[in-house]
């Protein structure tokens, strides 16, 4: 009975890690393709700091899952205690890292307030200067979500105007309404927007818009996080049970 239970656990662990291995291989392949692709997609990614960072995060996650799945598969099917121990230690490190990230997020949660983002925007934003990562990222967010500043266009009253601008109330171009919410989208009326005519501006602050956009996904993200932690916990238990059961 004990041998049957051990055999069942071994093949379940192999199957579980095989899917992790395949998922890691897919992420790794896509990440490598995005970074080295010669057809021009690389330039598009490199031009956007968010996409550029995301590509490397995808690459790192793919490599980690690939190695994790490989260790788990080999350790389970070969009943190799050394590989199972490496697998257990690897999962444990990831588990502790996630736990540390959750604790740090709780400790520094006050840095995600409306006041914090408003202060940072007024301090670092350089309007239409897309060579600056902070400004470029904010412009992309405002265009994508059809919003303006953290609270609204009034956030930019303390931001210095462009040297060549003769407009008294210079509003960033990213706050102007577009027919299509992308950088390539045509302005509804750019000149009227920049002179402060409200009906051609996106008046709602990005803080409220983004919170409303992601509100429906908060519980889903929480459930997924709990699910991932539970899977990691069970993977460690299976690995240790298999480790102890191997003679």
DSSP conformation class of 201: B
The half-sphere exposure of 63 on its side-chain side, counting CA atoms within 13 A, is 8
Based on the fold, state whether residues 138 and 177 are members of the same structural domain: yes
Do 136 and 90 belong together in one domain? no
pLDDT at 167 over 50: no
Query: Is residue 221 in a domain?
Result: no
Q: Tell me the C-alpha distance between 66 and 64, whole Å.
A: 5
Question: What single-letter DSSP state applies at residue 173?
Answer: G
Per-range mean pLDDT, top range of 9-13, 33-37, 243-247: 9-13
Dihedral sign for Cα 228, 234, 235, 237, please: positive
Give the per-residue pLDDT at 199: 87
Q: How many domains does the chain have?
A: 2
Cβ distance 83 to 75 under 8 Å? Answer: yes
Q: Is the domain of 1 the same as that of 106? A: yes
Same domain, 106 and 121: no
Residue 48 lies in a domain: yes
Average pLDDT estimate for 14-25 = 82
Instruction: Give the pTM.
Output: 0.54
Domain limits for position 163: 114-204
| 139 and 189, same domain (yes or no) | yes
φ and ψ at residue 58, rounded to 5 degrees: -60, -40
The alpha carbon of residue 165 and the mean position of all alpha carbons in its chain are separated, in whole angstroms, by: 36
Q: Same domain for 28 and 74?
A: yes
Largest CA distance in the chain: 85
DSSP, residue by residue, 86-119:
HHHHHHHHHHHHHHHHHHHHHHTGGGGSHHHHHH
Per-residue buried b or exposed e for 73-105, using 16+ beta carbons within 10 Å of the residue's own CB: bbbbeebbeebbebbbebbeebbeeeeeeeeee
One domain for residues 83 and 163: no
Q: Does the residue 155 lie in any domain?
A: yes
140 and 192 housed in the same domain: yes
Of 30-44, 109-123, 179-193, 224-238, minimum mean pLDDT range: 30-44
Q: How far apart are CA 73 and CA 54, in angstroms?
A: 28
Give the tens place of pLDDT for each residue, 44-70: 555 555 556 667 777 887 888 888 888
Residues 6+ apart with CB under 8 A from 156: 125, 127, 148, 149, 170, 171, 172, 175
């Amino acid at each position: 009975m004990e041998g049957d239970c051990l055999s069942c656990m071994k093949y379940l662990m192999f199957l579980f890690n095989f899917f992790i291995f395949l998922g890691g291989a897919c992420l790794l392949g896509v990440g490598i393709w995005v970074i080295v692709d010669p057809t021009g997609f690389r330039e598009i990614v490199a031009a956007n700091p968010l996409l550029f960072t995301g590509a490397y995060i995808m690459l790192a996650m793919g490599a980690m899952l690939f190695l994790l799945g490989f260790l788990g598969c080999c350790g389970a099917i070969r009943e190799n205690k050394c590989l199972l121990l490496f697998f257990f230690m690897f999962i444990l490190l990831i588990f502790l890292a996630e736990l540390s990230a959750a604790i740090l997020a709780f400790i520094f949660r006050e840095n995600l307030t409306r006041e914090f983002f408003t202060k940072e925007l007024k301090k670092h934003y350089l309007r239409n200067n897309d060579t600056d990562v902070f400004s470029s990222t904010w412009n992309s967010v405002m265009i994508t979500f059809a919003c303006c500043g953290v609270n609204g266009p009034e956030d930019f009253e303390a931001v210095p105007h462009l040297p060549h601008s003769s407009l008294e109330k210079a509003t960033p171009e990213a706050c102007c309404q577009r027919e299509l919410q992308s950088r390539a989208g045509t302005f509804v009326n750019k000149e009227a927007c920049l002179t402060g005519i409200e009906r051609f501006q996106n008046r709602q602050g990005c803080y409220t818009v983004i919170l409303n956009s992601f509100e429906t996904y908060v519980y889903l993200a929480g459930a997924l996080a709990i699910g991932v932690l539970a899977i990691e916990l069970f993977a460690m238990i299976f690995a240790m049970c298999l480790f102890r059961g191997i003679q």
